[in-house]
Amino acid sequence: MTTQFKLAAALILSGLIVAGCQKPAEKAEGPAAPAVQPTASTDVYPFTIGELQAVALKDGDLALDNVTGQSPWADNAGVAEALRPTGDAKIHLSIQPLLIRGDDKVVLIDTGAGGQMGTANRLPTSLAAAGVQPGQITDILISHGHGDHVGGLVSNGALTYPNATIRMSAAEWTALQADAELTALIPVITPKVETFEPGAELTPSITAVSLQGHTPGHTGYEIVSGQDRLLYLGDALHSSVISVERPEYVNQWDFDSDAAIATRLAILGRGATQSLRTYGVHFPFPGLGTFRRQEDGFVWVQETPAQP
Ligand SMILES: [Zn+2]
């Protein structure tokens, strides 16, 4: 076990202990969260976390062939075996940012790909179907600075969400500014960026959780209201099949494989032990469910059937 491996595992486990002992954060004074407007859109999935209104917002899909150069996992035979029960040989990764309303804030966690990477840029339509205008977003929380999470921050060279503070970990902001593929984004978003350290309380209900390994400052978000709790996974786990059933596989998209594997194992263990409700930004829409132990490993159990 490397030092980084131990550190990541220790941070997750200490988060577990702290979370278990914490009393719920006090709520800010303000009006109750507005009700989510009913919608017929299959790209919008409203749900609640205690007193908070949450909405899964579909942005697009990635479909990868299980071959070198597309799949981030080198063991194509192992991936094929894991995928066989799904009846589909391709690796499907959905993209669904998460909206949280409450505490007098309208929070968007990640912003989708903004139409890059061959995706459909459905987030603006999904947001409108949820009854939210871009100017109403008060806070954007970024899990990490990859294109399918920050691509939607800017539209036609301007801020997509002009009134929102853009929050991410200090380590991630440093890494993002050094990313040669995303240089056009930086001057546009810089005036709105505010950084935080792991463990920061970003709203009375949302805490930043360091989920090390995928990128230098990769961050999950733990959302708590009353007795309800949801962990936003970011890209600690990409696939609801491969990342869950083969967590020890090296993922070539991870910045630090040892730390990423330790993080996955810690999340799966905690998730199964606590029946923790989790949100996979790349899991089948709407990305809600829990991990369960099965034989000597884990499986993902969706909270609702996937929608077409
Ligand atoms: Zn991603």
Q: How far is the CA of 48 from the centre of ligand 1 (A)?
A: 24
User: How far is the centre of ligand 1, averaged over its atoms, from the C-alpha of 41 (Å)?
Assistant: 23
Task: Give the tens place of pLDDT for each residue, 107-164.
Answer: 999 999 999 988 899 999 999 999 999 999 999 999 999 999 999 999 999 999 999 9
pLDDT of res. 38: 53
pLDDT at 2: 40
Number of H helices, E strands in the chain: 8, 17
Task: Sort 186 into a burial class: Cβ within 10 Å, 0-12 / 13-18 / 19+.
Answer: middle
CA 282 to ligand 1 center in whole angstroms: 7
Which domains can be identified in the chain, with CATH numbers? 3-17+29-302 (3.60.15.10)
Q: What is the pTM of this model?
A: 0.88
CA of 148 to the centre of ligand 1 (A): 5
214 Cα: distance to centroid of ligand 1 (angstroms)? 10
Query: What spacing in Å lies between the alpha carbon of 207 and ligand 1's midpoint?
Result: 20
Q: Dig out the tokens for 4 from the structure.
A: 């980084």
Positions of the chain with pLDDT lower than 50, given as ranges: 1-34, 308
Separation of alpha carbons 143 and 156, rounded Å: 23
- For residue 46, give both structure tokens: 């409203």
The pLDDT, as a whole number, for residue 41 is: 86
Closest to 279 (Cα-Cα) out of 244, 249, 212, 234:
234
3-state secondary structure 130-148: CCCCHHHCCEEECCCCCHH
CA dist., res. 172 & res. 10, Å (int): 20
Helix residue spans in the chain (DSSP H): 3-21, 76-83, 123-129, 147-150, 170-177, 185-189, 242-245, 257-274
- Predicted confidence at residue 110, as pLDDT, reads 98
CA distance 48 to 243: 26
The CA 133 to ligand 1 mean position distance, Å, reads 24
The predicted pLDDT at position 149 comes to 98
Give whole-number Cα distances, 204 to 14, 139, 263, in Å: 20, 13, 25
* pLDDT (0 to 100) of residue 305: 56
